[in-house]
Amino acid sequence: LGSFAVCWFHFYHYARILQMGEKRPSGSNTSNNKLTLLPKPQYMFKSVNRLWVKPTKESLQSFLKDETYRWTILRNLFIAPISEEVIFRACIIAPLLSSHKTNDDQSLSPTQICWIAPLFFGVAHLHHFYEQYRQLPLLRR
């Protein structure tokens, strides 16, 4: 849901910028120059085309033409995440399950382990957030 909201705001603000740049007649009334809540549909279509369709087409063309780029994309978007997830979960769930004893009230149940294991995965990747934060200009921190 969060990434959907970010994409929507990106398209929305780009469409608003396009609409604000529209040439208005010099004799128009200032009250009619106010922007509406939603941009006009043609600006939304332009924004989707510019921010999503065009880059997707260019990326697909590069993917089909360049073998090195193709393997890089396959590695970064498919092979690495799947293998990382499988290996990480195998390394985390096995020790957590070995701590499970049926007669001990302090041990974790398999259901609890299924909910806790992704938290370890997320904490292990917090360094990505920190790297992005460090790259922000000082005024935006």
Per-residue HEC secondary structure of 47-81 comes to: HHHHHHHHHHHHHHHHHHHCHHHHHHHHHHHHHHH
Nearest to 84 by CA among 34, 41, 118, 35: 118
Q: Contact at 8 Å (CB) between 52 and 44?
A: no
Query: Is 125 among the catalytic positions?
Result: yes
Catalytic residue among 10, 84, 85, 100: 84
Catalytic residue among 10, 13, 100, 125: 125
Active-site positions read 84, 125
